[in-house]
Amino acid sequence: MKEEKKETPYVWFDAEFTSLELDQAKLLQVAVVITDARLNRLAPADQDLDLCIRLDSSDSVSPWVAEHLPDLVQRCQTNEAVSIQEADQQIAALLDRWCGPPAQSIGERPVLAGNSVHNDWFLMRKFLPEFTARLHYRLLDVSTLKTLWTNGSDRTAFDKENKALLNKYVPGIGELRAHDALFDVHASIAELAFYREQLKIG
Residue 111's identity, in one-letter code, is: V
Per-residue pLDDT of the chain (202 residues; tens, 9 = 90+): 455 567 899 999 999 999 989 999 999 999 999 999 999 999 999 999 999 999 988 889 999 999 999 999 999 999 999 999 999 999 999 999 999 999 999 999 999 999 999 999 999 999 999 999 999 999 999 999 999 888 878 888 898 888 888 999 988 776 667 679 999 999 999 999 999 998 877 6
Q: What is the pTM of this model?
A: 0.93
Out of 3.40.50.300, 3.30.420.10, 3.40.50.1820, 3.40.30.10, the CATH code matching 10-199 is 3.30.420.10
Domain residue ranges of the chain, discontinuous segments joined by +: 10-199
DSSP string, 173-190: -TT--TT-HHHHHHHHHH
Q: How far apart are the two ends of the chain, measured CA to CA in Å?
A: 23
